[in-house]
Amino acid sequence: MIETAEQRKEAHAFYKEALETLNATNTQFMIGGAFSMFHYTGIYRDTKDLDVFCKASEYPAILKCFAAKGYETQLTDVRWLAKAFKGEYFIDVIFDTVNNICRVDDTWYDHATQAEFEGVNIKLIPPEELVWCKIYVQNRERFDGADVNHIIMKYGKKMDWKRLLSRFDQHWHLLLSAILMFQFVYPSEYREIIPKWLFDDLMKRAHEQYDLPSPIEKVCRGPVIDQTQYAIDIKEWDYKVTTIKTV
């Protein structure tokens, strides 16, 4: 955490240098994390890292450019994450998610938000993709439910709910659960923010689940949101793990 004015000054100098370096790569990228949260909600968090989102084809050029500038670079997980370090500050270069579901593609850039940060023109990941990624973060060490609620609360009236629904596809249950939680947290606001057609559509799907035959295979989708806590279901209770995309 950043605790002093001097650390804050150092951090902002790091952000500026990192963004200027990114612009020099001539690659497409978007900023997520704390800075996208600030833009969409007004919630500010001091942080020593910068979350950079890009397509998988773009991250090698980004890593090479930072390495040439003297940063220590690391291909942390070839499936979704690389890093560049400068002392105690670092950049997360993200091109997928740990469950390999929220893969960055061209549509992210098409719907990205133009912004300015540290005097540098940048693109922020779209609010729909920000919510999409965060709804899957439901583990013991980190749960992003409050972030999802705050994004919807502050930006929900501007969101493309049809596009967000299409993102969830067969995992629409998670979007419904997020909407129900939002109704619980904000009982006086949800009617003005959550489209009724969306709620009705998802509730209809939930009702129809009871009209379907029982699945033959015993499947646990838990690892999609937390691979650790649901490991027992797969290893000891003989559930099949839901298919997760891989590169």
* Digit-coded pLDDT (tens) for 36-50: 999 999 998 878 889
Number of domains in the chain: 3
Tokens found for residue 108: 């992210």
Q: Are residues 198 and 225 in the same domain?
A: no
Q: Are residues 176 and 80 in the same domain?
A: no
Q: Are residues 188 and 108 in the same domain?
A: no
Position 247 confidence tier, pLDDT thresholds 50, 70, 90: very low
Whole-model pTM: value is 0.92
Phi and psi angles of residue 47, each rounded to the nearest 5 degrees, phi first: -150, 150
Domain holding 140, by residue range, is: 130-212
For the domain that residue 9 is a member of, what is the CATH number?
3.30.460.40
Distance CA 195, CA 101 (A): 25
Does residue 71 carry a pLDDT above 70? yes
- Say if strands 89-94 and 49-53 run parallel, antiparallel, or are unpaired: parallel
Phi and psi angles of residue 117, each rounded to the nearest 5 degrees, phi first: -140, 130
Radius of gyration of the chain (CA): 20
What element of type H or E holds 218? none
Q: Are residues 70 and 21 in the same domain?
A: yes
- pLDDT tens by residue, 184-219: 999 999 999 999 999 999 999 999 999 999 889 999
Q: Are residues 114 and 37 in the same domain?
A: yes
Residue with tokens 């949260």, as numbered in its chain:
37
Distance CA 230, CA 220 (A): 8
Q: In the listed set 72, 105, 125, which residue is the last one of a domain according to the structure? A: 125
Q: Are residues 208 and 221 in the same domain?
A: no
pLDDT of residue 1: 58
- pLDDT tens by residue, 127-179: 999 999 999 999 999 999 999 999 999 999 999 999 999 999 999 999 999 99
Q: What percent of the chain has pLDDT over 70?
A: 97
Q: Are residues 104 and 155 in the same domain?
A: no
Q: Are residues 88 and 148 in the same domain?
A: no
Rounded average pLDDT over 107-136: 95
